[in-house]
Structure 1
């Protein structure tokens, strides 16, 4: 079987689970009961073995898909010679759910728009990352699919398939099939429910209406587009918000980097990682994006999550965490040899070895996120326990900032004095000092200030290359250039108009950037060979740095170009091939969507000021209301 391009996929989901649906109507990735649980459908990782839940016409056809306006409800339309049908896919969001009984389900509405269409249904669950084929039995509820091995962990993996179809069981192939002929005006419903052999009876149309209403109310009803920005920017921000909400874990507030594992950074590359974890480094950008789009509740829940992390012994703080709190050695990276990987690119990995890496940037990220949340106007109570935790982190940075680490890009087996890690150590010290001084809180300020000066001196003397005329990837790195140098003005280490900042931006444009504004992460480094694929977040960083530099025309040009690399549904992966436009990496990528939201915030503020900009214009208190021009009660059910 073929592998659709990632641009052919849409995502549906609810509080802590997601599914990827191809333009051909096949659900090729879904994990139950949670996003980080083992998969039940994984055809995206092995088209023959992984399992899928497909609905598509038996006849030759053309297909397209779109989201129902301002929702995460996906419609796939099929056109055949005899008619047109639409499959509507959702995971329900209902106000009267009982302990998730409704939510652990996939609903599929089959509807004929004109003529007559015969739809084929193929239900092929494969439990535990396709290591376990199910047994099937007919019950009063439908077809019960259950894993056929004995478990000792108390989890009962099962799916119940029900609907308005005559289902046939092929026990040899462990597949359930059906044919659903429908004529104009007719509709059928199919549902796959996880974990409950007797799922509750529901009114499917009511669930659909409530789910659409939920998403529209969450995103802000008929939220108007600010007059100063193009409608397309606004639409992309709304889609990015909806993607982030799908990824947010409703119990903990944690946000995984992506919904998938092992989507390769390049076809044929062995760089295939599990991204279903929350990386600490995302905190600043997440806080900024959630607050600037008006989602204070999610911002506060995320704040509570990383404050809990901050209360850990600094020595034990790790780069990434599971969505339910596991960390460090609890996260074991393993290879699934029985799966071939997307388009034959393996290995397929679960878990992530970076969980035990030493990454000094995490400390600055935590302090910055707390600092920024407070500046957004949140009624945050920095109690004594929280402040002591911050002090412990800043003290730890004083003692360890001059050590080598794996860096933001998580180089395995290669530790250096990476510029970005030192920058974030400076951020931890600088923001800690400001919190202490503005809050009149007790702290060893003399020690902190001495360390802050030492870090600054090291960055300016060893992190800047006179020969290359730019800041470099690691201390004394000569020509090694890394896109993280763009963050120096964004984190306010240097003013945007500093000559060294401007020459670094020019170097990034000259050496890392395509004509379309796509930015690769690094070049001319001996840490790892140069990358050929563009990293989308870095492309948005360049936009932000250009805006701060009053180079707004170039920033807008690049931003418009990068928008062209989104999927037809407005979704981003981690990387893109600049030559072909092929989307690469795990999908959809939270970091990319965060970058888009924040770049629109920067650009919008510039357009609203209609003149030269100053970095003060981009402080939290000045950007948080840019997209709150909504009449939240103005919601429809169409």
Structure 2
């Protein structure tokens, strides 16, 4: 039986349609195919015995070091064995970007020193291990079939088939190379030159990634610049080439509570991520990706009445995301159930409308104009929010303990009115501005009366509750109140007092969410605190906490959804898009607070939140 590697020990590669997670022992432990939300071919990360894997590693003991080829999503795992050193280079060609088949996992093994004996162990387990499978030797490799999918392992060494596994051993001396190509459905007979595929894949990623010349006044300047670039590369890896949708994470059911039930499928797009995602992408200079993403969700919104807009969708716009459990899977370190699909798609989350308007307004600030159909969609959303803002919902955290009057949901309804007014005014669109302004003020008055607790000295999670919620840190960022408002500063202080641990870890909330067990600190919430501090004039404190937070990223620069406050271990799905978005935007706010320039208009928290520190101070 294999042990489960720590979540944070994995690296990720992908082709802009799907991703594979590679463990430090050279094992591909997670690989859904053909798309990120598809059933798995390898899922050892969720069940070491039944999930399946593709491992290449030395036969003797070894130590491992890992890196990405500079500014790429090409992963190198170097094994330091007793008699020599070998490196496995893993990648998939990005879809539509290089002239090589995208449905192939390329694994290059180089011996750089001495002699290394290595073993190959391929255990395909199609459809989460549920499909009946056959394996046979064919003329150009070993073919495995299960359900509607198949793989063909093209190997330079002799392989054997035994008990559903494909195995083999080989030796390499210094200077020798061996290529292993796992061709998936549709790529069995495609011609390819693996060296050329590697060279062109590296060239694509290095050309695409954010770079700065020495004389540039980069908004992301600082000791964290490389972390920002890695976060950008993660976001691109999670962006579907065909639709432009961005997945929350490439994995499902990695636990927020080891051994518990807080295991969710994150291989979908949450509309709530839109505003801060677009801000990050535009300031990184990736306008094409930002526009594609906005086009994608605008098409979804135009297809549905506002009431029918879901909190999340599949990466091709699928709305049926019924939540199911995979029977027989142990789950990561016995964390069950293993879930596919996500029941939160059926929840009512009123905050999503404000987050959509944040994204649209951000794009308009960068010069995008709305056509008549797009404006009709935005106007319809704002009108709908006017009707429902005072109703309860499930909230941003998708609690499963019943709907409440969540403060953040009310504030984001205010945002929907506020940005709707701004977009209509700036774009000279037809709108009932007086009615919208009246509703905006009603929402604001309602939140100030019911969402702020004088005894706590802070905005709370929901009306009638004294529980704190990290979303209170966003009220000045979205422009609801200025940063120097005593209620804002009181909320920051209360968050530090009640939700902060070890000076950097911020939990999402301290209220009941209807689920058993606990969870770690939410990386994004730690970023929100850093943002609030930076924009409140406490820049040195924000920088110190940001550098501490970055020290918890794995050596590859990747981070999960949460971090265990006692051990520093990563928890939840990995790598997490929202965590990396938080890193980009925190670096952006810190850069601006230090006087660096940004691309286009000032970022959202500066433009709207009336920061204490302005550019140039």
Quote the offset at 1:526 in angstroms. Answer: 7.6
Q: Which moved more, 1:85-94 or 1:481-490?
A: 85-94
Give the equivalent residue in structure 1 for 2:281.
290
Q: Is the 8 A contact 1:133 1:174 kept in 2?
A: no
Give the equivalent residue in structure 2 for 1:494.
481
Give the equivalent residue in structure 2 for 1:362.
352
Q: For each residue in 1:331-372, what CA deviation from the matched residue of structure 2 results, as whole angstroms up to 9, or x when unmatched?
A: 110001210000111100000000000000111111111111
1:355-434 alignment, distance < 5 Å: 355-377=345-367, 380-434=368-422
Q: For each residue in 1:584-617, what CA deviation from the matched residue of structure 2 results, as whole angstroms up to 9, or x when unmatched?
A: 000100000000000000001112269xxx9889
Q: Which moved more, 1:528-537 or 1:32-41?
A: 528-537
Question: Using the alignment, how far apart are the partners of 2:581 and 2:604 within structure 1?
Answer: 19
Give the equivalent residue in structure 1 for 2:143.
144
Q: Is the 8 A contact 1:605 1:618 kept in 2?
A: no
Query: CA separation of 1:485/1:298 partners in 2, compared to 1, >3 Å: closer, same or farther?
Result: same
Q: Is the 8 A contact 1:12 1:91 kept in 2?
A: yes
Q: Is the 8 A contact 2:451 2:463 kept in 1?
A: yes
Number of residue pairs matched by the alignment: 603
Question: Using the alignment, how far apart are the partners of 2:462 and 2:208 within structure 1?
Answer: 43
Give the equivalent residue in structure 1 for 2:318.
326
Quote the offset at 1:54 in angstroms. Answer: 0.2
1:163 and 2:155 correspond: yes
Give the equivalent residue in structure 1 for 2:87.
86
Q: Is the 8 A contact 1:44 1:50 kept in 2?
A: yes
Give the equivalent residue in structure 1 for 2:241.
250
Q: Which moved more, 1:86-95 or 1:175-184?
A: 86-95
1:135-534 alignment, distance < 5 Å: 135-147=134-146, 156-170=148-162, 173-196=163-186, 198-220=188-210, 232-311=223-302, 312-327=304-319, 330-377=320-367, 380-477=368-465, 479-524=466-511, 531=518, 533-534=520-521
SS for the counterpart of 2:594 is: helix
SS for the counterpart of 1:3 is: coil
Q: For each residue in 1:450-473, what CA deviation from the matched residue of structure 2 results, as whole angstroms up to 9, or x when unmatched?
A: 211110011100000011010000
Quote the offset at 1:198 in angstroms. Answer: 3.4
Question: Using the alignment, how far apart are the partners of 2:49 and 2:229 within structure 1?
Answer: 36
Q: Is the 8 A contact 1:41 1:53 kept in 2?
A: yes
Quote the offset at 1:515 in angstroms. Answer: 2.9
Quote the offset at 1:15 in angstroms. Answer: 1.5
SS for the counterpart of 1:274 is: coil
Query: CA separation of 1:427/1:26 partners in 2, compared to 1, >3 Å: closer, same or farther?
Result: same
Q: For each residue in 1:236-259, what CA deviation from the matched residue of structure 2 results, as whole angstroms up to 9, or x when unmatched?
A: 001001101100001111011000
Question: Using the alignment, how far apart are the partners of 1:587 and 1:31 within structure 2?
Answer: 14
SS for the counterpart of 2:236 is: helix
SS for the counterpart of 2:421 is: helix
> Normalising by structure 1, what TM-score?
0.91
> Gaps spanning 5+ residues in structure 1: where?
148-154, 623-638
Query: CA separation of 1:459/1:621 partners in 2, compared to 1, >3 Å: closer, same or farther?
Result: closer
Quote the offset at 1:208 in angstroms. Answer: 0.6
Question: Using the alignment, how far apart are the partners of 1:430 and 1:305 within structure 2?
Answer: 23
Q: Is the 8 A contact 1:157 1:194 kept in 2?
A: yes
Q: Is the 8 A contact 2:257 2:517 kept in 1?
A: no
Q: For each residue in 1:114-160, what CA deviation from the matched residue of structure 2 results, as whole angstroms up to 9, or x when unmatched?
A: 1100110001000001112521122222111111xxxxxxx831111
Give the equivalent residue in structure 2 for 1:2.
3
Question: Using the alignment, how far apart are the partners of 1:295 and 1:526 within structure 2?
Answer: 37
Q: Is the 8 A contact 1:247 1:255 kept in 2?
A: yes
Q: How big is the alpha-carbon RMSD for the aligned residues of Structure 1 and Structure 2? A: 2.1
Query: CA separation of 1:2/1:304 partners in 2, compared to 1, >3 Å: closer, same or farther?
Result: same
Q: Is the 8 A contact 2:470 2:509 kept in 1?
A: yes
1:542 and 2:529 correspond: yes
Quote the offset at 1:532 in angstroms. Answer: 5.2
